[in-house]
Amino acid sequence: MGPLVKIDIMDVSHTFDGGKRGKVIALDRVNLKVEDGEIIALLGPSGCGKSTLLYMVAGFYPVQSGKILLDGRPVSKPGPDRGIVFQEYVLFPWRTVEENVVYGLEVQGLGREEREKIASRFLEKVGLLSFKKKYPHELSGGMKQRVALARMLAYNPGILLMDEPFGALDAQTRELMQDELLSLWADLKKTILFVTHDMEEALYLSDRIVVFTARPGRVKEIVEVNFPRPRDRKTRLERDFAIHRDRLWSLLKGEIVKAKRMEDEGR
C-alpha cells in the first residue's frame, strides 16, 4: 500500500456561465492525488481555474463533473475537516482577535474555558497572544493573516486550503509568513493545498507544484520539489532553487502570455 491519499481529485472539470461569452470552461479534466501531510502549490496564470479548484475542494462550488474525495469520501459541502484562508484575511471584524480564533470551537459547542485555552495556544504560536483583545481593524495585514492562520488551526482541520494567502502582503512580511507557515506545518503536519502565482513561494513551501495552463485550466505538469526540510533562507540561494525556478518559468511563460492575450481581448 502506498501513502495515504488525503485529497483525490479525479477528472474534475468546471464550466461557468460567462454571460455574453456563453459557457466558459474554467477547468478541464484535472487529476491530482494529494498525500497526507503534503504541501501542494497550485500555480498558473490568472483565470486558469486554480482558485476554482481550491473552492471545489473546500465545498464552496459544486463538483459538476468528475470526483473529489477527501479521505475517500466525496466532497459535498464545507466542513471543519478543512480550513480556509483567503488573500484578504476575511476575519470577522466585529470580533476581537481571540473571539475570531475561538469561532470554530464555539460553533462546534466547546466550553468557554477550553476554547480560550486552545486559542491562547495558537495565538502564542503566531506571536499574537498580547493582541488577543484587539479588533482586526487595529492590526496590520501580516498580523491579520496570522489571526486567520490561528483561527484556521484552532479547530484542528486535517486539510488547510489557502487562496493566495500571502499575496496581499509586502515582500518582507510575505517571507516572514512563509517561514511561519513552514514552522507551523513542521509542528502540526497538516495537508496543505495552496494557490499562488508566485513561483518562488511555490518552490520554497511545497513538495509538489501543479502547473496549470491558461484557460481552460489543465494540469500542464506536476513539478516535484525535493529540497530538504527544514528549509530556510539558504534554500533560496541553492543552485537547485534557481534551476527549478527557471524550469517553472519556462513552463509558465507561454501560458501567461496566452492568458494576457485572452484578457486583452475580453474573453
Partner 1 sequence: MKWLRTNYPILLLLALWEGVSRFGLVSSQHLPPFSQCLVFLYELTRSGEVLIHIRDSIIRAMGGYFLSLLVGIPVGITMGLFRSVERPLGPVVTLFYPIPKVTLIPLFILWLGLGDRTKIAIVFLACLLPILISSRSGAKNVDVRQIWSARTMGTKDRQLLRLVILPSALPYIFSGMRISLAISFILLFSTEMLGAQSGLGYLIIVALEAVRPEMMFAGVLLIGVVAYTCDRILLLIRNRMLFWHTEQSAF
Q: Stretches 8-16, 81-89, 139-147, 235-243: which one binds partner 1 (CB under 8 A)?
A: 81-89
Query: If binding is defined by CB under 8 A, does position 92 make contact with partner 1?
Result: yes
Reported in sequence order, the residue ranges of 114-227 that DSSP labels E, i.e. its strands, are 159-163, 191-196, 208-212, 219-224
Query: If binding is defined by CB under 8 A, does position 82 make contact with partner 1?
Result: yes
Tell me the number of residues near partner 1 by CB under 8 A. Answer: 25
The residues in 41-80 that bind partner 1, with binding defined as CB under 8 A, are 58-60, 77-80
**What mask of x and - would describe binding to partner 1 in positions 197 to 216, judged by CB under 8 A?**
--------------------
Helix count and strand count (H, E) for the chain: 7, 10
Min separation Cβ 108 and partner 1, Å: 5
- Residue 151: closest CA among 178, 184, 200: 184
Min separation Cβ 206 and partner 1, Å: 22
Secondary structure of residue 192 in the 3-state scheme: strand
Please state, in angstroms and rounded to a whole number, the distance separating the CA atoms of residues 85 and 87.
Answer: 7
Neighbouring CB atoms inside 10 A of 267's CB total 11
Q: Which of 76, 108, 130, 183 binds partner 1 (CB under 8 A)?
A: 108
Contact 178, 206 (CB under 8 A): no
Q: Stretches 33-41, 63-71, 85-93, 221-229: which one binds partner 1 (CB under 8 A)?
A: 85-93
Please state, in angstroms and rounded to a whole number, the distance separating the CA atoms of residues 228 and 16.
Answer: 40
- Residue 81: closest CA among 111, 104, 61: 104
Contact 202, 164 (CB under 8 A): no
Decide whether 89 or 185 has the Cβ nearer to partner 1.
89
Min separation Cβ 26 and partner 1, Å: 17
Please state, in angstroms and rounded to a whole number, the distance separating the CA atoms of residues 208 and 226.
Answer: 8
Q: Stretches 103-111, 226-234, 243-251, 258-266: which one binds partner 1 (CB under 8 A)?
A: 103-111
First to last CA, the chain: 45
Min separation Cβ 84 and partner 1, Å: 5
Q: Stretches 41-49, 89-97, 219-227, 238-246: which one binds partner 1 (CB under 8 A)?
A: 89-97
Q: Which of 107, 186, 222, 242 binds partner 1 (CB under 8 A)?
A: 107
Exposure of 186 in the CB half-sphere (CA atoms within 13 A) = 13
Cell of 239: 543552485
Residue type for 80, please? P
Decide whether 114 or 238 has the Cβ nearer to partner 1.
114
The residues in 128-167 that bind partner 1, with binding defined as CB under 8 A, are 135-137, 151, 155
Contact residues toward partner 1 (CB under 8 A) are 58-60, 77-80, 82-84, 86, 88, 90, 92-94, 103-104, 107-108, 135-137, 151, 155
